Amino acid sequence: MAFYRSLLIRNSRSSSWFSKSTTSFSYYLRRSLCHDASSTSSDVSAKSYHLSGGPSYMRGAVFWEPNKPLTIEDFHMPRPKAGELLIKTKACGVCHSDLHVMKGELPFSSPCVVGHEITGEVVEHGPLTDPKTIKRLPVGAHVVGAFIMPCGNCFFCSKGQDDLCESFFAYNRAKGTLYDGETRLFLRNSGKPVYMYSMGGLAEYCVVPEHALSALPDSLPYTESAILGCAVFTAYGAMAHAAQVRPGDAIAVIGIGGVGSSCLQIARAFGASEIIAVDVQDEKLQNAKIFGATHTINARHEDAVAKIREITGGMGVDVAVEALGKPQTFLQCTQSVRDGGKAVMIGLTLSGAKGEVDINHLVRRQIKVIGSYGARARHDLPKLIKLAESGIFNLTATVSRKCKFEEAGKAYQDLDKGSIVGRAVVEMM
Ligand SMILES: [Zn+2]
Ligand SMILES: [Zn+2]
């Protein structure tokens, strides 16, 4: 217990998401880990590992249970297995999905390392990794990781639908592991396993399946490029696959955070003519204009649906995107589209929450309600990198805050309060 205490106090600093309390620590550890049948075999493989010449352990931010602060813990250096790479994390974005897990709104295995929007440097390849992957992503390569980490060979991956990868959902989202059913994260002191939300990116190193990674050119910075792996990735999937935006389309985006503002930029890149930003914060709406919004609506002061119809000459937009995950904005999204238009839902919400829709309007006016989650890593991530490299997508303007690893908890608190205007990114370097 003395070890835990010194560790927590050393790492706690000022943020209240990082705990100074040690009272229930060992209880959470026991309670959360006892049910994991795979821990014994994994334990053994993780113990004696030492990265050749490098450190044998690392730090990671651990979520223990809902509404309790993250703590920074020491881990054994994670080991990549076949088809996986060990990445020295350089930056990790602060995303609402992590926050949903941390608030208990999205159930996830715990304890776990959160963070799923990373850039980093390739440190090692797992054994038996395809030589093509080693050539594509050699040791020392700068990389960006997509939060949906496709296995590459399930039913959906074999059809190129990486965004529906069965292994990702069955193992990572359902169990907090990689695709052999085991985590790569083990606490340094006890050897106990800790689960991974995607790659568990809020740590000094992370293990990522090869198909989730793309090489980052030297011209793109680590910090700003981290958002390519979730915020921009999600926006691209919504615009390219779900909405299939065409030049000249009228688009409305409801909720202008990191993902929503990325949707505006992608819509602009795809040639949308009217781009309408809807939010309740003037500061976010002001920023929306930088990202391509041609019109802004503060839904606190105006009826968003009526205003969207007014802007589009009574028609409604070709595509409306809901990036908040609230029942009220879900309904607004379906009401904002023209006849035959597409209402694209990308905001996650409380597990089990329901959205309403006017059935007759949907049927008669052929409204399409489309769910969209992330994008297709192997196909789309290289394209996003090109959009960023050419300046068509402005990464720098989207990242509104940079913070240190120890300040990550505070960044999540501020995200919860709505006080992060664009995207916060944790710099791990
Ligand atoms: Zn995310
Ligand atoms: Zn798959």
39 compared with 80, residue with greater pLDDT = 80
Please give the average per-residue pLDDT across 106-134, as a whole number.
Answer: 97
pLDDT of residue 337: 98
Model pTM score: 0.87
Please give the average per-residue pLDDT across 373-396, as a whole number.
Answer: 97
255: left (phi over 0), alpha (psi -120 to 50) or beta: left
Residue 147 CA to ligand 2 center (angstroms) comes to 13
Whether residue 65 is found in the same domain as residue 209? yes
**Residues contacting residue 70 through CB under 8 Å, at least 6 positions apart:** 17, 18, 19, 61, 62, 63, 102, 114, 202, 408, 409, 412
Whether residue 142 is found in the same domain as residue 45? yes
Residue 91 CA to ligand 1 center (angstroms) comes to 14
pLDDT of residue 3: 33
Residue 164 CA to ligand 2 center (angstroms) comes to 7
Q: Is the pLDDT of residue 185 over 50?
A: yes
Q: Is the pLDDT of residue 38 over 80?
A: no
Confidence of residue 53 (pLDDT cuts 50, 70, 90): low
* End residue of a domain, out of 331, 356, 371: 371
**C-alpha span between 317 and 311 (Å, rounded):** 9
* End residue of a domain, out of 371, 395, 412: 371
Least confident of 9-23, 42-56, 348-362, 395-409: 9-23
pLDDT of residue 52: 61
Please give the average per-residue pLDDT across 394-399, as a whole number.
Answer: 96
pLDDT of residue 54: 72
Residue 147 CA to ligand 1 center (angstroms) comes to 7
Q: How many domains does the chain have?
A: 2
Q: Is the pLDDT of residue 138 over 90?
A: yes
**C-alpha span between 171 and 162 (Å, rounded):** 15
pLDDT of residue 51: 57
Whether residue 236 is found in the same domain as residue 214? no
Query: For the segment 122-131, what is each residue's pLDDT rounded down to a tens digit?
Result: 999 999 999 9
> What's the CATH code of the domain at 291?
3.40.50.720
**C-alpha span between 190 and 85 (Å, rounded):** 25
**C-alpha span between 110 and 68 (Å, rounded):** 12
Query: For the segment 191-229, what is each residue's pLDDT rounded down to a tens digit?
Result: 999 999 999 999 999 999 999 999 999 999 999 999 999
Residue 7 CA to ligand 2 center (angstroms) comes to 38
Whether residue 271 is found in the same domain as residue 326? yes
Q: Is the pLDDT of residue 67 over 70?
A: yes
Please give the average per-residue pLDDT across 323-337, as a whole number.
Answer: 97
Residues of the domain holding 323: 232-371
Whether residue 249 is found in the same domain as residue 219? no
Residue 160, judged by CB atoms within 10 A of its CB (0-12, 13-18, 19+), counts as: exposed
Q: Is the pLDDT of residue 353 over 90?
A: yes
Cβ–Cβ < 8 Å for 131, 99: no
Residue 167 CA to ligand 2 center (angstroms) comes to 5
**C-alpha span between 114 and 317 (Å, rounded):** 36
Distances from the Cα of 118 to the Cα of 87, 225, 377, 403, 428, angstroms? 10, 8, 13, 14, 10
The ligand whose atoms approach the alpha carbon of 154 most closely is 2
pLDDT of residue 258: 93
Query: For the segment 151-167, what is each residue's pLDDT rounded down to a tens digit?
Result: 999 999 999 999 999 99
**C-alpha span between 368 and 359 (Å, rounded):** 11
27-58 in b/e burial notation, b at 16+ Cβ within 10 A? Answer: ebbeebbeebeebeebeeebeeeebeeeeebb
Whether residue 276 is found in the same domain as residue 419? no
Q: Is the pLDDT of residue 70 over 90?
A: yes
Whether residue 275 is found in the same domain as residue 345? yes
Residue 379 CA to ligand 2 center (angstroms) comes to 13
Question: Is beta strand 84-94 parallel, antiparallel or unpaired with respect to 118-125?
Answer: antiparallel
The ligand whose atoms approach the alpha carbon of 156 most closely is 2
